[in-house]
Amino acid sequence: MLGFLMAYLRFSQPLILLGVIAVSYAVIQRSVRSSPLGIGGVTSRASARTHRRRDACFAGGLLAMLVALTGPIEQYADQLFWVHMTQHVLLLTVAAPLLALSAPGHFAPRLLKADTRRRAVASWRRVTQSETGKVLAVVSAPGGIWLLFNGNLLAFHIPLLYNATLRNAWLHELEHLLFLGLGVWFWAQIFDPRRVHARLNDVERAIYLVGAAAVGWALAIVLTFAPNALYTPYAELGSRPGGISALVDQQLAAGIMLVPGSITFLMVAGVALVRWLTTDEPQPASAEATAIKGEQ
């Protein structure tokens, strides 16, 4: 009975969390769009398309989280390392970029009253001018975010820490939260430069993304050529679905990281390079940028 209850809670928690996020997003959107500062007063078709696209990206991000954190993937993640790696790839390269594309930070200022916004802006300016602000500026710059994103990925694949996440449910949830949170921040440097003040041109975006993919490749090579299974909870399993060995399971996980885990990075980097190669003049303001300007 206790085992059934624990399994039910483990399955239902992500559903409850995603349900709360979805409802909160819908309520916020309704509030923002019906307010004078929201998009309710913006009638341009470009603006409407922009916000429909953002809504679709947000829904896609939640769907990717649902697939990663529930159902067969969650069920077999403790028994098969390659399934667990699939879970991480979905969070880092599917859910996170889609959530970044939805630009959730775009709506946050509009939820505050004018006086509150002014006080918040004044407080933030004081922080940015302090010593703490200088540290924050370094950390929040694209290079700092790149290091945080990839450092977090490598840290959680150190055997000592990875083994701990498999044995401690709270630490495991923290791992997923950091993957997703830093992932959104990482991808926001590519997709939402207006809000995060990214300072990357198209070539720098390509380098930023290929460099991150290369970190995954290096980790995949280590997993592929390790002579033994690196993670004790998987190595100690008496049997696995499919009857594969712990070492083969680890090599399959490396393949997941090496190929599917690289697709989003390389696709977006390719788009950035093509745009750079085919643009001879400064790019005109996009429809989304025009719509945002009209909202202000």
| pLDDT for residue 248 | 95
39 versus 147: which is more confidently predicted?
147
Which of 59, 216, 101, 199 is closest to 152 using CA atoms? 216
Contact residues for 120 (Cβ-Cβ < 8 A; gap 6+): 112
| pLDDT for residue 127 | 58
Mapped onto helix, strand or coil, the DSSP state of residue 283 is coil
Which of 100, 93, 121, 103 is closest to 256 using CA atoms? 93
> At residue 293, does pLDDT exceed 50?
no
| pLDDT for residue 228 | 93
**Burial of 157: CB neighbours in 10 Å, binned 0-12, 13-18, 19+:** buried
| pLDDT for residue 252 | 96
Which of 34, 19, 57, 52 is closest to 188 using CA atoms? 57
| pLDDT for residue 229 | 93
CA–CA dist 175, 145 (Å, integer): 17
CA atoms within 13 A on the CB side of 233: 16
Confidence of residue 106 (pLDDT cuts 50, 70, 90): low
Task: Name the one residue in this structure whose structure tokens are 């002579």.
Answer: 227
Q: What's the one-letter identity of residue 126?
A: R
Contact predicate 8/70, CB 8 Å? no
Out of 3-17, 75-89, 214-228, 243-257, which region has the weakest mean confidence (pLDDT)? Answer: 3-17
Confidence of residue 31 (pLDDT cuts 50, 70, 90): low
In this predicted model, what pLDDT tens digit does every residue of 229-255 receive, in sequence order? 999 999 999 888 888 999 999 999 999
Confidence of residue 44 (pLDDT cuts 50, 70, 90): low
In this predicted model, what pLDDT tens digit does every residue of 120-167 receive, in sequence order? 656 656 655 666 666 666 677 888 999 999 999 999 999 999 999 999
> At residue 47, does pLDDT exceed 60?
yes
Confidence of residue 217 (pLDDT cuts 50, 70, 90): very high
265: number of Cβ within 10 Å: 24
* Across 208-212, average pLDDT: 97
CA–CA dist 196, 189 (Å, integer): 7
Q: What percentage of the chain has pLDDT greater than the value 70?
A: 64
* Across 102-106, average pLDDT: 67
Residue 69, H or E segment: helix 45-69
pTM of the predicted model, to two decimals? Answer: 0.78
| pLDDT for residue 183 | 94
For helices 45-69 and 287-295, angle between their N-to-C axes, nearest 10 degrees: 100
> At residue 41, does pLDDT exceed 60?
no
CA–CA dist 93, 10 (Å, integer): 24
228: number of Cβ within 10 Å: 8
The per-residue pLDDT of the chain, averaged, comes to 79
Q: What percentage of the chain has pLDDT greater than the value 90?
A: 46
CA atoms within 13 A on the CB side of 129: 6
> At residue 24, does pLDDT exceed 70?
no
